[in-house]
């Protein structure tokens, strides 16, 4: 399994591909511009996606005039890899510190808190 750590910009592109599946550069570029609320340069998106192809993060179908890209990186594996790096480097290996920081930084809904409680109960039973 790939242990590539995507840059922030590459991760944004991967998020679009994971959500939408196969996309053209134009599709990805429009989604990025929409999500950011500002125009993202098409040539910047194209260049990033070409680099990602060279790194093996995405594949592309070149059978038609418009190339169609899809992610090769698994979203769950990628998230685990990034999260483990954050836990190790920012929180000195403590998942507890990460969770406490995350919960204090963001307001959680009642439903989210219930999900967290259920998860903790399941862990407690193991």
pLDDT at residue number 3: 60
pLDDT of residue 108: 87
Q: Measure Cα distances from 71 to 11, 36, 81, 84, 124 in Å.
A: 11, 21, 16, 21, 36
How far is it, in rounded angstroms, from Cα 27 to Cα 109?
Answer: 32
CA 16 to chain centre: 9
Q: What pTM was estimated for this model as a whole?
A: 0.79
- Nearest to 70, CA basis, from 8, 21, 16: 21
What is the tens place of the pLDDT at every residue in 13-42? 999 999 999 999 999 999 999 999 999 999
pLDDT value for 88: 94
The number of beta carbons lying within 10 Å of the beta carbon of residue 4 is: 15
* Residues of the chain falling short of pLDDT 70: 1-3
Domains of the chain: 8-71 (1.10.10.10), 96-126 (no CATH)
């Amino acid at each position: 399994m790939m242990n590539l750590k995507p840059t922030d910009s590459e991760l944004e592109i991967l998020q679009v591909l994971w959500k939408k599946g196969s996309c053209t550069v134009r599709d990805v570029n429009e989604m990025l511009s929409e999500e950011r609320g500002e125009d993202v340069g098409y040539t910047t998106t194209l260049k990033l996606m070409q680099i990602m192809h060279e790194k093996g993060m995405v594949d592309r179908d070149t059978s038609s005039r418009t190339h169609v890209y899809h992610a090769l990186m698994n979203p769950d594996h990628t998230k685990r890899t990034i999260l483990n790096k954050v836990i190790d480097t920012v929180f000195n290996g403590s998942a507890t510190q990460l969770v406490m920081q995350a919960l204090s930084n963001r307001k959680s809904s009642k439903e989210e808190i219930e999900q967290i409680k259920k998860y903790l109960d399941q862990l407690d039973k193991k």
